[in-house]
Amino acid sequence: MSERSEPSTTAPKARLLTGDRPTGPLHLGHLLGSLQSRVAMQDSHECFLIVADLHTLTTRPERERIAELPRNVRAIVLDLLSVGIDPSKSTIYLQSGVPAVYDLAILLQMLIPASHLRSLASIAQMAKIAGVDDERMSLGLLGYPVLQAADILMARAQLIPVGGDNLAHVEIAREVAQLFNEMYADVFPLPEGQASRVPMLPGIGPDGPAASKMSKSAGNTINLGDPAEVVAQKLRTLSGSRLRAFIDALFDDPAQAEAMSAEHRAGQLSDAAAHEQLIQATEALLAPLRERRAAFEADDGLIEEILVDGTIRAREVAYATLQQVREAMGLEPLWKGLIDVAERRALARKKPY
C-alpha cells in the first residue's frame, strides 16, 4: 500500500463491438470506412466483431435467404481475416450462436417505448430498401435496435464504431443501458458510437445521379476478394466527380489527392491516367489482403474453427452479463430461491431422522 503500482500492462482494455450483417462480400467502402480502423484498434481495445445473422432475418426471413447464410457468413469471416483481423486479439462470433442475446433482447424490450423506435429514420430506411411497406413491417424489424442493444450490452462494450446512419441505434442502446442502470443496478457501461471518419465511397460505374454510395444492394462494389484484373476493370468505369471521390478516398496523402483532383478537374489529368494511378493505389491496399486470404483458405477448416471458437468465447461473456442482468432485475433470486428450497427438501428426505 506504500507505493503506487506501475501502470499495469494487464489493465483491462475498453471493449469495442462492431460488425456486419452477412448479406454478401465486404467491399472497398467497408475497408476504408471501417475495416482499416478495426485492425488499427485491435491492440488498444478488446474487439468483438459480430457476424449479425439474426439481423438479416428482420428484413430477409425467407428460407431461401437463410439458406444463403452459410456461404455469406464464411465469406465475411474470411474478409475480416484477410484485412488483418487477428483472432488471437479479436473475437469474431456468430450472433445466432449466442443464446443469451435472445434473453437479453426480450428483457430490454420491456424498457424501451415502441414509439421511440417507430420514429427512427434508420428503420424506415431499412424497410424501404427491403421493399417492405409500413403495414407489413415486422415486429422484429421495429425491434432491430433493441436486438442490437442486446449485442452491444451483452459484451458490455464501450465503443461502437458504426456507419453514420447507425449512430441512432447506438443512442438507443445507450438509452436502454442508462434506464437499466437506473431501474435495477449499475450493470452496463454506457456505449458510445463512433461514426466512420472516411467520406463515403461512391459506387463504380460512370458518373451520374444513381449509386452515390458503394453498396451491396446497389451492386456497384469493388469486393475485397475481387482478383486484380476485375478491380482494374471496375476502376476504369469511373469518370467525373466519382473518379475524384475515389482519388480523395484512396490516396493517404491529402495534398497529393487534392493536387490530382484539381488536375483532373482542370482536364490536365486524363481519366485513363487517373485510372492507372487509382489501380496502383488500390492494389497497394488489396494485394496483401489477397495473400492473407489465400493462406486462410488453404488451411482447411481454419475459418470455421475461428468462428466457432469466437462464438464460444462470446457465449461466456454473454452468459456472465445475462447472469448479472437477471441478478439485478431480481429474476435470478426468484429462480435461485426456488432451487434452494427444493434442494433443502431433497436433502431433508435423505436424513434418516
User: Which residue ranges make up the site for a copy of itself (CB under 8 A)?
Assistant: 53-54, 57-58, 61-63, 66-67, 69-70, 73, 94, 96-97, 99, 102-103, 105-107, 109-115, 117, 134-143, 146-147, 183-184, 300-302, 304-305, 307-309, 329-331, 333-335, 337-339, 341-342, 344-346, 348
> CB of residue 206 vs a copy of itself: minimum separation in angstroms?
39
- Residue 139 CB, shortest distance to a copy of itself, in Å, is 4
Least CB distance from residue 243 to a copy of itself, whole Å? 40
Where is 250: in which H helix or E strand? helix 240-250
C-alpha cell belonging to residue 2:
506504500
145 Cβ contact list (under 8 Å, min separation 6): 117, 120, 122, 123, 168, 169, 172, 173
- Give the angle subtended at the CA of 268 by the CAs of 267 and 272, to the nearest 5°: 80
Residue 38, burial from CB neighbour count under 10 angstroms (0-12, 13-18, 19+): buried
Q: Are 200 and 33 in contact (CB under 8 A)?
A: yes
Pick 110 or 287: Cβ nearer a copy of itself: 110
Quote the distance between the C-alpha of residue 145 and its chain's center.
13
**Bridge partners, 15 (sequence order):** 46
Smallest gap, in angstroms, from Cβ of residue 107 to a copy of itself? Answer: 7
Q: How far is the CB of 193 from a copy of itself (least distance, A)?
A: 20
CB of 137 to a copy of itself, least distance (A): 6
- Cα–Cα dist 240/222, whole Å: 18
> Strand, helix or coil at 90?
strand
Contact 289, 231 (CB under 8 A): no
* Cβ proximity to a copy of itself, 14 vs 295, nearer residue: 295
| CB 192 to a copy of itself: min, Å | 23
Rounded CA separation 169/282 (Å): 32
> Cα dist. 250→201, 282, 289, 297, 345 in Å?
9, 7, 16, 27, 70
By beta-carbon proximity to a copy of itself, the closer residue of 32 and 105 is 105
Q: 128 or 136, CB closer to a copy of itself?
A: 136
Q: Using CA atoms in the order 32, 38, 44, 49, what is the torsion angle rounded to 10 degrees?
A: 170
257 vs 322, beta carbon nearer a copy of itself: 322
Q: Name the minimum Å distance from CB 222 to a copy of itself.
A: 28
* CB of 329 vs a copy of itself, minimal distance in Å: 6
Please give the Cα distance from 160 to 174 (Å, whole number). Answer: 11
Q: Indicate the residue among 99 and 164 with the shorter CB distance to a copy of itself.
A: 99
Q: Give the nearer residue to a copy of itself in terms of CB position, either 204 or 317.
A: 317
Q: Smaller CB distance to a copy of itself: residue 190 or 341?
A: 341
251: nearest Cα among 231, 274, 229, 273: 274
Residue with smaller CB distance to a copy of itself, 127 or 279: 127
Beta carbons within 10 angstroms of residue 183's beta carbon: 11
